[in-house]
Chains A and B, each alone.
Chain A
């Protein structure tokens, strides 16, 4: 595990316009490391959707990213309200986002489905009133 590159980002819950900064930074780093463009895009999109979710639903949180030669592992953790029904949240089109979020271009109920689609492994640990940990792994062709 010593050959992993570890990155940490705080995600502010107050400024929607800054959501995506962490994902953009990770994308840039992976690009500079010469990773496969398709894998980089999958990491960036999955992480971006998760970052947006964090800002919309959970008032921010943090991301830990571990970059290995063959995969990228991401933890997105928040102290938000938790997800009451994960199965429902995974359905395309299901959203609990408020209307003002929809006017910003999100809340279409595609966030978690998109994250699942672009990651090779996705695990959600969520507790009502405590928060949510989202673990993602994206494999990289070497």
Chain B
């Protein structure tokens, strides 16, 4: 799956465009950034309902290519700028967390860990 597929599946809207052809192998859905940081996965997308600059910084530390804001949340300018500088794609989707994760899972994306 590539970033572009995630946008299609989640009927998402691009807020900040990075590399849409980048491959995504796993996903992580959480509002707690320390929980996200606890499990390093390769080429992952982050789904979150949290909207603050630390979401982008967390993605940066984890080498994540893409962040999906669920429930139609829109990040402010400072967050968008931070993502732009780091080449991270920001997407918003109207779906809620559970549904957004479920849709990606159904389409073959896994959590990347066994538990």
What's the interface size class on B, roughly? Answer: 20 to 34
Residue contact B61 to A27, C-beta cutoff 8 Å = yes
A2 located at the interface, meaning its Cβ lies under 8 Å from any Cβ of chain B in the complex: no
Total A-B residue contacts, Cβ distance less than 8 Å: 72
Contact with B along A2-33 (1 / 0, CB 8 A): 00000000000000110110011001000000
Q: Known contacts A105-B32, A108-B34, A114-B37: does B52 contact A45 (CB below 8 Å)?
A: no
Chain B nearest Cβ from A92, distance in angstroms:
8
Residue contact B61 to A23, C-beta cutoff 8 Å = yes
Residue of B nearest to A49 (CB): B37
- How many A residues touch B, CB cutoff 8 Å? 27
- B residues 44-65 in Cβ contact with A at 8 Å: 48, 50, 52-55, 57-58, 60-63
What residues of chain B have their CB less than 8 Å away from a CB belonging to chain A?
31-35, 37-38, 40, 48, 50, 52-55, 57-58, 60-63, 78
Nearest first, the 10 closest Cβ-Cβ pairs linking A and B are: A110-B34, A20-B57, A105-B33, A44-B61, A108-B34, A108-B32, A17-B53, A105-B50, A48-B61, A45-B61
